[in-house]
Structures are given as C-alpha cells and as structure tokens.
C-alpha cells in the first residue's frame, strides 16, 4: 500500500501543476479588468502605475511563475514563521488580494472557521443520518420506512438549497421568530448563553445543507446495500448460522461501503469550498461567499488560490478513498 500511495503522490504533483496552469490561463482569458471599477476621473498615467503595482504589466508567464513561487515557497515559510516565531519569509512578497490588498492566505485563514463550523457540521450530520437510513431502507425494502425515506430524499436532493433556505427563513425566522435570518460572523462563544446563540444561528443553514447531503448519500447507501444483499456470499453466511445482525452489519455493510466511501470522500473538499449558495442566503461570511465576491471584483490572486486549494483537496481525498478501498475489501491489493 505504501508503494501505491507513493506512486499516486508522485503522479499527483504534475497533475496539480497542470491544473494550476489551466486555472491561470482560464482566468487570463476571462473577460473583465481588475481595475475596471476605478473611477474615470483617475488619470491614465496613475492608472498605469496602479496596474504596475498589481503586477499586471508583466507577461502572463512571469505572473504565473511568481504566483507559483509565492504559493509553494513564500506562504509555507510565512506559516513556519507564524508557528515557530522565526523570520525566514521576512521581506518576501506574499500572494496579495487585488481587492483588499491583504495577504490572500490571511483572508482565507479568517474565513475558514466560519465555513468549517457551518458546512463541516452539516456534512457530519448529513453523513451520520444518511448511512443508517440507507442501511435500514435497503434491509426493509418497500416498507413504510423505505417509502418515507425515498420521498424525503427525493425532496431534499431535488429542491435547490436557495429555495429551501428561503422557506426556512420565512417559517422559522419571519413567522415563528425561532432563529435569526442572518448569520452573525462576529459572534464569539464565551459562555453558555453565547453557545446557545451560536447554535440558534447555525440551525437553519446546517439544516438545509444536512438535508441535501443526507439525501444524496442515503440513496447511494441504499443502492449499494440492495446490490450486496442479493449476493451469494450473503446466502452462504446465513446458511452457516450467522445472526442477521452479523450478516448485515459486518459482511454486507463492509462491501457496501466501498462505492459510498468515494462519494463521502469527494464531498469533503466541498466543506472547505463552502456552500456558495447557502452562504449567500444566510449571509455566512465563509469561503464560498469570498469566492463569489472575488469573481465579481476580478480578484485574480484570490480566485486562483482558492480554486487551486480546492483542486489539491480533491486530489488528496481521491487518494484517501483509494486507500480506504483496501481496508474495506481485503481482496483489493496495491502491490
């Protein structure tokens, strides 16, 4: 397994480099100008100086390799300096946002906790709900539980999150006044009362995203369980006298989790990417909202850095999913 992981890691390096180049070229080809919002009263010579200050007067390949150096060398050194109190990156130019003129990684670090709190919690809840529902729905196929689970899953997967979010705001915030309609990103948990306030403002966005995630994963879990429940090894295990609990929760479940692991692993990067639509609806100041704002303002360093981080996460969790296959199914060998 170590050799397989090493090979995949070595393949991932050129893959990510190609992805970074593709992202950069797409952003270069996209319409818009980072200085498009500058007032017309600004003289042309001043505008050219502003363009030079942003590095936009350089050739595209110069800016690309400069970003590569900053992302892979300068930013890790800044992280080392922050953790260990050193000054290795002193005087080095970091990846700077066109919009705020602050280091991109600093802005991302400020917004990650909000995204992980809301989107991460909703994903954990969604997976925790989806797996038992999918298992029991498959075991009790066509029962009333399966029918209700199928109906709720279809609704949760079909209804857009912006629609369900607005419905929850109208019902629970406007009509019943149970939860706030706007997420307060400045709120800090210091005591029990502030903790309850945090739970109340997280309730609706977490509810929306949990329903969406649970609907998708539970369908995959149910389908995979049904496929394995009809296999010959299940009849053999029952003929040997194994209890139904052992047959279902050990033999069938272990094999059924193999395709579901892929779905769950590939969904983890979306946690860091943020729920763009849901964050917009509930005004959660997370990475998804930051990405939309940066795209609108042509903040190329921010968009480039965020999208490349998402690509790294996708490649990483693809590798993790492949490694988990060997743990779940002993027949899979990586030698």
Residue with tokens 């609108």: 296
Q: Are residues 93 and 139 in the same domain?
A: no
C-alpha closest to that of 209 among 112, 123, 277, 116:
123
Predicted confidence at residue 39, as pLDDT, reads 67
Residue 96 β-bridge partners: 103
Whether 138 is covered by a domain: the verdict is: yes
Mean pLDDT of 147-168: 85
For residue 21, the model assigns a pLDDT of: 92
* CATH number of the structural domain spanning residue 276: 1.10.3720.10
H-run or E-run covering 332: none
Which of 74, 97, 120 is the last residue before a domain boundary?
Answer: 97
Q: Is the pLDDT of residue 236 over 90?
A: no
Whether residue 120 is predicted with pLDDT greater than 60 in this model: the reply is: yes
- pLDDT band at 22; cut points 50, 70, 90: very high
Please indicate, yes or no, whether residues 47 and 160 belong to a single structural domain of this protein: no
Residues 131 and 85 in one domain: no
- Residue 8, in any domain of the structure: no
Is 127 in the same domain as 212? yes
How far is residue 114's CA from residue 287's CA, in Å, rounded to a whole number? 8
Residue 58 is part of which domain span? 43-97
∠ CA 277-182-293, nearest 5°, is 45
Alpha helices in the chain (DSSP H): 2-29, 44-53, 60-69, 75-84, 104-115, 121-139, 144-158, 161-168, 192-229, 232-239, 244-246, 253-273, 276-282, 287-296, 300-328
Stronger pLDDT, 142 or 18, i.e. the higher one = 18
Residues 272, 210, single domain; the answer is yes
Burial profile 155-174: b = 16 or more Cβ within 10 angstroms, e = fewer: ebeebebeebbeebbeebbe
Please report whether residue 129 resides in a domain. yes
Specify whether 318 is located in the same domain as 260. yes
Per-residue model confidence as pLDDT tens digits over 296-330:
888 888 999 988 988 888 888 888 877 777 676 66
What pLDDT is stored for residue 270 in this prediction?
72
Establish if 50 belongs to a structural domain: yes
At 333, is the pLDDT very low, low, confident or very high (cuts 50, 70, 90)?
A: low
Share of the chain above pLDDT 70, in %: 93
Domain count, the chain: 2
Give the confidence band of 36 by pLDDT, cuts at 50, 70, 90: low
Query: Is 228 in contact with 237 (CB distance < 8 Å)?
Result: no
pLDDT tens-digit series, residues 72-105: 998 898 888 888 888 888 878 888 888 888 889 9
Token output for 284: 């959660």
Identify whether residues 127 and 244 lie together within a single domain.
Answer: yes
């Amino acid at each position: 397994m170590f050799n397989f992981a090493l090979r995949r890691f070595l393949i991932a390096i050129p893959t990510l480099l190609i992805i970074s180049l593709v992202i950069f070229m797409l952003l270069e080809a996209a319409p818009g100008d980072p200085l498009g919002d500058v007032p017309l009263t600004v003289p042309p010579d001043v505008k050219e100086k502003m363009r030079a200050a942003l590095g936009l007067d350089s050739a595209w390949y110069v800016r690309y390799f400069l970003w590569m150096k900053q992302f892979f060398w300068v930013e890790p050194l800044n992280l080392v300096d922050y953790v260990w109190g050193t000054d290795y990156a002193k005087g080095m130019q970091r990846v700077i946002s066109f919009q705020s003129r602050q280091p991109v990684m600093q802005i991302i670090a400020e917004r990650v906790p909000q995204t992980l709190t809301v989107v991460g919690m909703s994903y954990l809840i969604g997976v925790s709900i989806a797996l038992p529902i999918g298992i029991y729905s498959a075991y009790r196929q066509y029962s009333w539980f399966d029918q209700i689970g199928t109906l709720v899953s279809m609704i949760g997967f079909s209804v857009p999150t912006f629609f369900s979010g607005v419905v929850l705001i109208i019902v629970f915030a406007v009509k019943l006044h149970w939860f706030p309609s706007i997420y307060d990103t400045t709120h800090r948990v210091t005591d029990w009362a502030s903790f309850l306030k945090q739970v109340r403002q997280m309730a609706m966005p977490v509810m929306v995203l949990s329903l969406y995630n649970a609907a998708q994963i539970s369908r995959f879990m149910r389908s995979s369980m049904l496929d394995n429940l009809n296999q010959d090894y299940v009849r053999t295990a029952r003929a040997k006298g194994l209890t139904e609990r052992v047959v279902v929760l050990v033999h069938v479940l272990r094999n059924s989790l193999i395709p579901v692991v892929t779905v769950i692993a590939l969904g983890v990067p979306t946690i860091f990417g943020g729920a763009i639509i849901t964050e917009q609806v509930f005004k959660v100041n997370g990475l998804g909202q930051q990405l939309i704002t940066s795209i609108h303002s042509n903040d190329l360093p921010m968009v480039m850095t965020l999208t490349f981080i998402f690509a790294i996460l996708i490649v990483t969790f693809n590798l993790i999913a492949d490694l988990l296959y060997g743990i779940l199914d002993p027949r899979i060998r990586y030698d």
